[in-house]
Amino acid sequence: MNHLALIEKTRSLIAAGDISGAEAALTDLADSDGDGALVVVLEQLAPKDILAVIREYDTSKESIVNLLVTPSQFARALVIEKQYKDLTHNHLRGMVNSVMFREDADPVAFLNAIADLEGGSEAMADYFADKWSRIEAFARTGTFDTAEEDGEMLSEQALFASAYAKPKVDLDEVSDQDWMQLAWLLRYECPDLFMEMLLVMRAKARAHDLGLDTEEELPEDDGKVETSDTDRGQATPAARDDDEESAI
């Protein structure tokens, strides 16, 4: 099967909700024609199609797509992940960890690609959504121990003033290939993205306290879909062309 035919087949399978079938078709290409052929095909797939495959990360098996997706491709997919309306963010965390911490990957390269896109800080805020107090503690004290907090958050001015502080904990101490390692890399390797992400998290927390729907506060229509199907990998958002362009 030539590449154009495979791309159309992959798109059709994803549109039909057969994510496993789409991934299998891409895997078959890598097996038959080599990883380079798959890289070429991934370059021609829309961000929403790549997202549909990589967010269905399964810890019981290795995904060739997750292993080969580039930082720019991953970033473009990540910033539109919110369209799935997965309030648990389980799929988001799974795909971030599987891609950024894959063997021989450079997580900072992925973070820099995310930082370059509108919506990157929001995506990272969703990743850390249930770790807000730990991230605040990390921003204030340089450790993840909330017991060291005195109950006051750093002001925005103080937050940016501390952006380039020296680490209090070594990277080796938090190299868990999970949220702690990613938070450390964000703060000390991509401080601007870390600060922007934390401000987004604070805004979301305030909105929650006020009983507001943060998605409704955003002046955009991002093609939201119900999670009853998407969280089982049975559907993918029908993103509009202008949504995809904005992600790029």
Q: Does the residue 26 lie in any domain?
A: no
pLDDT at 225: 36
Do residues 231 and 91 touch, judged by C-beta distance below 8 A? Answer: yes
pLDDT at 246: 37
pLDDT at 4: 87
- Provide the residue range defining the domain that includes 195: 70-247
pLDDT at 32: 92
pLDDT at 198: 94
Residue-wise pLDDT tens digits, 203-245: 988 887 777 765 544 334 343 333 334 343 444 444 444 444 4
pLDDT at 213: 63
Do residues 227 and 84 touch, judged by C-beta distance below 8 A? Answer: yes
pTM of the model: 0.81
Q: Does the residue 2 lie in any domain?
A: no
d(CA 189, CA 153): 22
Q: Does the residue 133 lie in any domain?
A: yes
Q: Which residues of the chain have pLDDT under 70?
A: 1, 148-151, 213-248
What number of H helices and E strands is found in the chain? 16, 0
pLDDT at 170: 96
Q: Does the residue 34 lie in any domain?
A: no
Q: Does the residue 7 lie in any domain?
A: no
Instruction: Name the domain count of the chain.
Output: 1
Q: Does the residue 4 lie in any domain?
A: no
pLDDT at 167: 94
Q: Does the residue 143 lie in any domain?
A: yes
Please give the angle made by the CA atoms of 230, 221 and 199, to the nearest 5 degrees: 90
Residues 6 or more apart whose CB falls under 8 angstroms from that of 43 comprise 73
Q: Does the residue 54 lie in any domain?
A: no
CA 153 to chain centre: 26
pLDDT at 161: 81
